[in-house]
Chain A
């Protein structure tokens, strides 16, 4: 709706747009008359509300997105962004409100309606069939008739055209599971375009991409906009909003708190609007005073049960009192590395290399995470819901998880449940876990409070080395600040910390040293003060910054990162609790 000056051709500007300069509050309430002088708005939402039981996920949402623009929606986890987009895509029906697409009011009852209305959606977790070819994935649900042959032939031609028009090259006959994550995302975009989408919604699209891949995606999105498509970008990365969008809305607690032209705002102001108060985007870190090396890893190799080499010779040295940040796009072996260091290499994997802690060798091949804890290596796993906690256990059961054989929980076979409860209550106090109820099942805590339970457990057991995977994924900003401070506190107490995060900002903010992982290797090491996102981005794409220009840092179509469809692993999974599967094995 705000055709920014830089982007031509913009849509015709009606008189209603005079409000663009008005304060944000007034903007959100601008009249629906966007069509007054020109093309109708691509999307127009009025008074959309949706609640799940007592939880109001969306509250009286008004939103107008002009045709041929890129609109960003930012907000914290749980602010209601995804619910709103799911309503637009027919996954949920709103309790109240109207939706107009291209000026026409429609009721989006299911995804089919949304698709017919010209809405395409690229989900954060791709909705592809891993063992289908690109072509099969593209036609799925949009076949021309009951027989496949004709559909496949037509789609092949159509894909060629789209690839040429939008710079979206993918081999149509390749099985999706063999493609790199970036290319899988292209398949998702192609799916939408094949269905003649005019509006493209992307939910957190850059979470799995290297910076260069993300830039390439943004160029594609820019091209689509220039051809008149409308794009809605949902993200929590303010940098992306500033870089690519024309207009931006901020959501907080189910409401749109402000909508404005991107050029009129700043990351600080957006962050403030997201949280509802002033935010320090800085963790207050003081320089580290590193001690001697405590953890030494030499020549770590790992071949998984399918014979794929996932770690290809990793050397790491971790000193007391420092945070070593391990950057990289997810799926490049970080999870495998953390699991091996944590004492539980994935079943069937072959591991070789040498690991010492304070000069004493630790076994690499055996699976015994308990022994690793006894040796002094703690671990905050990247997926708290699938690994760090048993979601059905009460908080007090989870604060002993992994340390349950310690003598303080009772000697012999029986466990001292009273001691466990008392300890949990004390830790919940210290880490401000809310609600402060040790008997509450862990799934009933919010993401941030669940993570605090895990952080409390691992820090309070006072490890020599702490492995931390994705400490703030799916965690609200308040809890992020808290967790960051605790991590730095542990470092200042002289502990060694290995931090894995796909959030480059988090890595740059917390680390005293940064190592970049790509395809099972360490591509290089940098000091935070002496590098920038561009250089790290190249390393993350597996390229040598000395010989490559930043914009060429795109991994090949095939190979590189580990197979992304490896069940449940190396993928963000804050979408929901892992349901306890009744089935183990195959039937």
Chain B
């Protein structure tokens, strides 16, 4: 494998990491507030569809982005109502949201575009353009660092940089602000926040709103950045992989970056080498496709690292003295 291939794979890894990272941070806000969210998958899918549909119709990717966020926010609203207002089962709500998105996207897609659930292919202003970072061209000739900067870091669509900036922003919000202090507290012991006269409900709703925003970005990136349009089930389990990354990251923002990059890298390698020839036998492409899921299981089994989830996660808050 030569250096150019490495650069290509890394570049691809950054692209593939982006939706995972955004979804992972989305899950971080929700779960840090004590709300499990296995509906990340569905919200991403809904956002992907909404953004592709809006971008296809208006030809403007920014309108697409807004529609994507609105789509996932609507599903967040459902999840919030189920798990906060009506104190329902958060897992079941997540499952329902995933099916709802899976059904609605195709139903609406077929009704509006008649392409069997796809949206029309996007091009031009309906997709995100790639941004060249400053001095990319000048630095490019420098050995090693040049290609790393110019090809791996530079030349991505804006949402990639949004995702990368979201990492320090999340860290700062979580550990340096009043909101973060309360958010972390509500996921550990909601009664502590409640008895301090702060509304548990409002905090959790805020967290869920942020989750909706970030999954919206993740989905929009899938349809308008990574691909050119929506296809049926295009989230392909990324929401679940983001959850696995969140556990792997121990619910911390910087580690989330590392974990999602790892998954992105794996997918990139699998894409680049569909069947790996190991001499006596060939690793089939199906195995490479299943690798992220297998790795997720291994991570969940705790053979790598040990996770301590937010203590109050999954439990609806009921006041008691």
Residues from 156 to 215 in B contacting A, C-beta threshold 8 Å: 176-182, 184-185, 188-189, 191-198
Does A523 belong to the interface (CB within 8 Å)?
A: no
Contact with A along B76-108 (1 / 0, CB 8 A): 000000000000011110000000000000000
Evaluate whether A587 and B313 lie within 8 angstroms (CB atoms) in the complex, with A91-B321, A129-B188 already known.
Answer: yes
Contact with B along A70-86 (1 / 0, CB 8 A): 00000000000011011
Question: In the complex, what residues of B have CB within 8 A of residue A114's CB?
Answer: 197
The smallest C-beta distance from A299 to any residue of chain B, in angstroms, reads 31
Contact with B along A180-203 (1 / 0, CB 8 A): 000000000001000000000001
**How far is B311's CA from A149's CA once the two chains are assembled, in angstroms?**
26
| B307 contacts A586, C-beta separation under 8 Å | yes
**How far is B318's CA from A575's CA once the two chains are assembled, in angstroms?**
12
Contact of B189 among A127, A141, A587 (CB under 8 A): A127
Contact with A along B105-118 (1 / 0, CB 8 A): 00000000000000
Does B146 belong to the interface (CB within 8 Å)?
A: no
Does B36 belong to the interface (CB within 8 Å)?
A: yes
Does B243 belong to the interface (CB within 8 Å)?
A: yes
The smallest C-beta distance from A209 to any residue of chain B, in angstroms, reads 20
Question: In the complex, what residues of B have CB within 8 A of residue A54's CB?
Answer: none
Query: Which of A146, A581, A583 has the most chain B CB within a 10 Å cutoff?
Result: A583
**How far is B189's CA from A145's CA once the two chains are assembled, in angstroms?**
22
Evaluate whether A146 and B179 lie within 8 angstroms (CB atoms) in the complex, with A123-B195, A581-B315, A582-B314 already known.
Answer: yes
Does B275 belong to the interface (CB within 8 Å)?
A: no
Which of the four size classes fits the interface of chain B?
A: 35 or more
| A137 contacts B178, C-beta separation under 8 Å | no
| B181 contacts A586, C-beta separation under 8 Å | no
| B321 contacts A586, C-beta separation under 8 Å | no
**How far is B75's CA from A569's CA once the two chains are assembled, in angstroms?**
37
Question: In the complex, what residues of A have CB within 8 A of residue B311's CB?
Answer: 130, 567
Evaluate whether A203 and B314 lie within 8 angstroms (CB atoms) in the complex, with A123-B195, A132-B185, A141-B197 already known.
Answer: no
**How far is B311's CA from A129's CA once the two chains are assembled, in angstroms?**
10
**How far is B181's CA from A143's CA once the two chains are assembled, in angstroms?**
10
Question: In the complex, what residues of A have CB within 8 A of residue B194's CB?
Answer: 111, 127
Evaluate whether A140 and B197 lie within 8 angstroms (CB atoms) in the complex, with A129-B188, A130-B189 already known.
Answer: no
**How far is B38's CA from A586's CA once the two chains are assembled, in angstroms?**
12
| B189 contacts A129, C-beta separation under 8 Å | yes
| B320 contacts A575, C-beta separation under 8 Å | yes
Question: In the complex, what residues of B have CB within 8 A of residue A142's CB?
Answer: 196
Question: In the complex, what residues of A have CB within 8 A of residue B231's CB?
Answer: none
Does A110 belong to the interface (CB within 8 Å)?
A: yes
The smallest C-beta distance from A150 to any residue of chain B, in angstroms, reads 10
Contact with B along A129-140 (1 / 0, CB 8 A): 111100011011
| A149 contacts B176, C-beta separation under 8 Å | yes
**How far is B243's CA from A140's CA once the two chains are assembled, in angstroms?**
28
Question: In the complex, what residues of B have CB within 8 A of residue A112's CB?
Answer: 197-198
Contact with B along A296-315 (1 / 0, CB 8 A): 00000000000000000000
**How far is B182's CA from A573's CA once the two chains are assembled, in angstroms?**
25
Query: Which of B182, B184, B195, B313 has the most chain A CB within a 10 Å cutoff?
Result: B195
Does B247 belong to the interface (CB within 8 Å)?
A: yes
The smallest C-beta distance from B309 to any residue of chain A, in angstroms, reads 4
Residues from 190 to 232 in A contacting B, C-beta threshold 8 Å: 191, 203
The smallest C-beta distance from B92 to any residue of chain A, in angstroms, reads 8
The smallest C-beta distance from B105 to any residue of chain A, in angstroms, reads 24
Does A36 belong to the interface (CB within 8 Å)?
A: no
Does A42 belong to the interface (CB within 8 Å)?
A: no
**How far is B172's CA from A146's CA once the two chains are assembled, in angstroms?**
12
Evaluate whether A587 and B176 lie within 8 angstroms (CB atoms) in the complex, with A82-B321, A123-B195, A140-B192 already known.
Answer: no
Does A148 belong to the interface (CB within 8 Å)?
A: yes
The smallest C-beta distance from B235 to any residue of chain A, in angstroms, reads 18
| A140 contacts B321, C-beta separation under 8 Å | no
By a beta-carbon cutoff of 8 Å, the part of chain B in contact with chain A is 31, 36, 38, 89-92, 176-182, 184-185, 188-189, 191-198, 243, 247, 307, 309, 311, 313-315, 319-321
Besides the known contacts A140-B196, A586-B313, A587-B243, 7 further A-B residue pairs in the complex with CB atoms under 8 A apart? A121-B195, A129-B192, A140-B185, A141-B196, A145-B178, A146-B179, A191-B196
18 contacts between A and B (CB under 8 A): A111-B196, A114-B197, A115-B197, A127-B194, A129-B188, A140-B192, A141-B182, A141-B198, A142-B196, A148-B178, A148-B181, A575-B321, A579-B315, A582-B89, A583-B314, A586-B247, A587-B313, A587-B314
